[in-house]
Each structure stands twice: as C-alpha cells, then as structure tokens.
C-alpha cells in the first residue's frame, strides 16, 4: 500500500493493512485486542482491557485543547467472516488478502472486514499522530458487535468519561446517522422425527444458490432473495410433481446475513432423476425472471451424492418443515411513516440447521419502534405453538432515538459544509449500531455515526472506496480540531 503515501489518510490504510493480518471473527477477538493493548503501550497511552477483550485507549489533549470536552471515538474490533464456496481461507489464522481495483479495496474471495476495521484504523491513525489538534480522546473498541452488540452491552460505563461520542460504523459518505433500529435474535426449534427408507433410491443435494446476500438490515429493502425462503418454495413446488424424502436442510452461517445459498439432501426413486433435473431447470428460469436486476444469477441445482444413512424425515416432520419454510416470517414488516424509504421493522432468517431432534431457524429481528419488534416475536410464538416448536429469544438491544439538540451533529454539519461545500444528509438506518446500547448506558451521551462508502458488507463482495476513506478522515480531523464549539 505504498502508493497511499500522498494521501492524508495514509496512516489509516497502513493500520488497516496491519489489522487485516490478524484474525478477528466475532467471538475470537483476543489476538487483535492484545495487539491493540501493545499498540497503546508502545505509545505510552493509557489502556484498559476487560475480560471479554473490549478496549479503551486514552490520549491526553493537545496544547490549547485541555479545557475542551472529551470526545470518544468508537468502533468494533470484530468482523463478519464469510467466504465464497470455492475460496480456500481459514479465518482462524489466515490474513485477509487485500486487492486494490478501480479505486476500491476488496478482499480475495472473503469479507474484507472494513466493517468495522476502518474505524479501528482511523482511531489508530489519530492515536499514532503527534501533529494533530484534538481534545482528550477516549477510543472505545468493542467486541462481538456482529453477533448481538455484546461488547457494548458488557462495557463498564464507569470507565468512560466522555459525553460526546463519534461512532465510525456507518457505510455512506456524506450521510450522518442520527438514529437506528433495535433488535433481537430468535431461534425456532422445529421438532422432527425420522423413518427409514425401504425402497431403492438415489441421493441428491438440491441447492438454491447464486444469490447476492448482504446485510440483513441495511440491504433488506433491496429485494434480494433469501435462499432459505426460496428453498422452502422450491421444496413445496417440487412436492407437487415429484416424490422425494429429506435427509437434512442447511443454510447460512450468520443470522444477520441474508443467506446466499441453501440446500436440502433428498432421496428420490432411481428412475426419477430426469424429472428432478427438469424441475430444477424450470425453477431456475422462473426465479431468474422474478429476481431480474436483483438476483439474476439465482440457480436451482442438483448434485449426485453418496449418503450412508437411510434415515429421513417422517411424513409429518417433512410436512411441518415445508410449512415452516414457507410461513416463517421474513423480510420487511413495516415501513416508516416519517422517513420516506426507511424500513421500520423486519426479520431475516439467516441460518438453517438440522440436528437429530430439531431443525433450527435462526433469525434477526429489527425495529426502530420497540413494540413492533415484540409484535414480530409474537407472530413467531404463534407459529411455534402451532407446530409444537420451541422459540428462544436472545441478544436484545435497544433502538437509538433522534436527538433534536445534538451539538456533535451540528458540528459535523458545519465542518462538512466548510470542507466539501455542501451539507451532509441526516439519516436513520434500519440496523443496529452500538449507539443504541450507549444511549441506554449513558443517558446524556451526545452521539453521531459516520463513515466512508462501504459496499456489500457481510458478503465476500465487500469493498470500500479509497477516496471516501480519505474524505472521512479529513472530516474527522476537522471535527476534532473544531471541538471547542462543543462548549
């Protein structure tokens, strides 16, 4: 990354490259957290690390800024770890391979980790510099953000003195995030029973794939296909023309990611392959017409496989599974009446798992209105009761409400206008950010969230704009330099 040397944000890219070498999947942040402790100590900065590896690093004010309000810079250490089917990559030890293309940074077949490594890198650049003007800074780097905002929830509020916080976890330059949705995770366990196959059969993996996937909050409104829901539809339609049995179903790895692929291991009579193949081609064509310009590469495929087991779902469990796949809520529930185009409440089925006793549906619920979040969970409970399933709700986090008197928002608007000749857009987002947690943890905290243009987060197509990172870093430095206006 030597060719970034002439950019004001050159240190940001240097540190982003450094942390890209360190494994940091959600729940496995110890190594990167320890790296940040060493980073701080090497620069004689005060640092605190808790038992789950949250980090707070403090830097004293530069001369002339001692009496200005302290500011917290905040991001999260973890990343969503997704890769393409054919990509060989071990997230527990392999570095993210960075590729520069057309002014963007990509990874090689994996998620990039710009969400939220770019916040970590920006904070590191500020902490490392000796020639910037700023008040007292507290850099808050949390863990397990992508799996339920756990780090923010567990953070000790007594360790934070600042009452102004800049979150660097937004994904559109020129837009200032001022409120967000709350959320909750759900797991619905459908009980299943098994029976044995007694006739001659062949086994196939029936797969719905070729989908774009993406962030289940920020991209839920793009009309992209959910592979789990499409698989349910395909199984329902196939059952009208083809007799088959089901060994298992599987899809996804994260409940907050729109699943790109879902599959069912099935058994059919040995002379029924032509019918299976014909149906797969028919439904590929149907789906491509329905998802044109959204997921036009969707495909229904079949692959011959070996299966040593002859244990398949019994008739009732098969029927219950297809019912659940088709009737489990998914997608947009309501749109905001106040902000045009903003999703107000939604649900995403992200993971499908088969075990000996259950088939489990893992979902992420989101809403900027708390009662609508509970309304969706009540729908899930009704479905669970109807199918004798077990519903478990966990990892609830609150929404972040708009503050009409925000001084940090006004300062960002002023600095943005001076730097770029236009005011930024003030927005809300249908996704959880840690500001929601902090709004409850620190009742008087004045917050803003911003960030550079980041595309396709939570997917192997994730990439980030180099020019946008440079602009956002300039904006951050100008806000810090102008922080006396917060008095």
User: Which positions are annotated as active-site residues?
Assistant: 78, 145
> Which spans in 311-459 are helix H?
315-327, 370-386, 407-420, 434-441
Q: How many CA atoms lie within 13 A of 278 on its CB side?
A: 6
Contact 142, 77 (CB under 8 A): yes
DSSP string, 249-261: EEE-S-TTEE-S-
Which residues, listed in sequence order, are joined to residue 101 by a DSSP beta bridge?
A: 104
DSSP 8-class letter at 403 = -
- Report which of 36, 68, 128 is spatially closest to residue 473, judged by C-alpha positions: 128
Contact 221, 233 (CB under 8 A): no
Q: Which two tokens stand for residue 276?
A: 């299976």
- List of residues 6+ apart from 395 with CB closer than 8 A: 147, 148, 149, 150, 183, 184, 185
Distances (CA, A) of 400 to 129, 147, 160, 372, 461: 32, 18, 19, 15, 29
Give Dmax (Cα) for the chain.
Answer: 84
Integer Cα distance of 318 and 312 in angstroms: 9
Distances (CA, A) of 287 to 24, 148, 208, 352, 360: 36, 33, 10, 21, 25
Q: Which two tokens stand for residue 420?
A: 């770029």
Integer Cα distance of 112 and 425 in angstroms: 26
Sign of CA dihedral 253, 313, 229, 306: positive
Contact 208, 258 (CB under 8 A): no
Q: Which residue has the tokens 């206006």?
A: 485
Contact 312, 247 (CB under 8 A): yes
- Report which of 150, 127, 112, 147 is spatially closest to residue 17, judged by C-alpha positions: 112
DSSP 8-class letter at 341 = T
**C-alpha radius of gyration, the chain, whole number:** 24
Number of other CB atoms surrounding residue 319 within 10 Å: 12
């Amino acid at each position: 990354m030597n060719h970034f040397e002439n950019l004001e944000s050159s240190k940001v890219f240097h540190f982003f490259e450094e942390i890209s070498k360190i494994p940091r999947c959600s729940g496995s942040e110890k190594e990167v957290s320890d790296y940040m402790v060493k980073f701080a100590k090497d620069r004689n900065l005060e640092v605190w690390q808790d038992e789950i590896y949250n980090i707070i690093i403090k830097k004293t004010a530069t001369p002339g800024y001692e009496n200005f309000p302290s500011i917290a810079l905040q991001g999260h250490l973890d990343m969503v770890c997704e890769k393409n089917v054919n990509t060989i990559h071990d997230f527990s030890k392999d570095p993210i391979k960075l590729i520069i293309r057309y002014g963007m940074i990509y990874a090689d077949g994996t998620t990039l980790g710009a969400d939220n490594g770019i916040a970590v890198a920006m904070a590191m650049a500020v902490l490392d510099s000796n020639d910037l003007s700023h008040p007292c800074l507290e850099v808050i780097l949390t863990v397990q953000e992508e799996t339920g905002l756990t780090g923010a929830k567990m953070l000790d509020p007594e360790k934070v003195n600042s009452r102004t916080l800049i979150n660097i976890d937004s994904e559109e330059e020129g837009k200032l995030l001022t409120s967000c949705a709350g959320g909750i995770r759900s797991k619905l366990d459908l009980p299943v029973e098994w029976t044995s196959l007694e006739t001659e059969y062949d086994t196939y993996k029936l797969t719905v794939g070729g989908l774009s996937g993406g962030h289940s909050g920020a991209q839920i409104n793009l009309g992209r296909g959910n592979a789990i829901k499409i698989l349910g539809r395909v199984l329902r339609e196939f059952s009208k023309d083809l007799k088959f049995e089901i060994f298992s179903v599987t899809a996804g790895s994260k409940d907050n990611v729109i699943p790109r692929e879902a599959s069912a291991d099935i058994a059919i009579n040995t002379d029924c392959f032509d019918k299976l193949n014909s149906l797969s081609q028919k439904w590929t064509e149907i789906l491509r017409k329905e998802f044109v310009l959204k997921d036009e590469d969707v495909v229904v495929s079949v692959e011959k496989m070996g299966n040593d087991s002859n244990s398949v779902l019994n008739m009732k469990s098969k029927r219950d599974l297809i019912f659940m796949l088709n009737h489990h809520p998914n997608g947009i529930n309501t749109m905001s009446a106040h902000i045009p185009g903003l999703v107000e409440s939604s649900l995403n089925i992200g993971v499908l798992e088969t075990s000996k006793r259950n088939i489990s549906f893992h979902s992420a619920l989101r809403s900027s209105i708390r009662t609508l979040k509970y309304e969706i969970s009540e729908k899930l409970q009704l479905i669970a009761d109807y199918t004798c399933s077990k519903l478990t709700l966990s990892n609830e986090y609150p929404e972040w409400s708009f503050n009409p008197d925000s001084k940090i928002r006004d300062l960002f608007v002023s600095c943005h206008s001076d730097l770029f000749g236009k005011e930024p857009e003030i927005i809300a987002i249908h996704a959880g950010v840690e500001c929601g947690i902090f709004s409850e943890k620190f009742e008087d905290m004045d917050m803003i969230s911003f960030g550079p243009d980041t595309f396709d987060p939570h997917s192997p197509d994730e990439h980030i704009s180099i020019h946008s990172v440079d602009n956002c870093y300039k904006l951050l430095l100008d806000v810090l330099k102008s922080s006396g206006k917060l008095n």
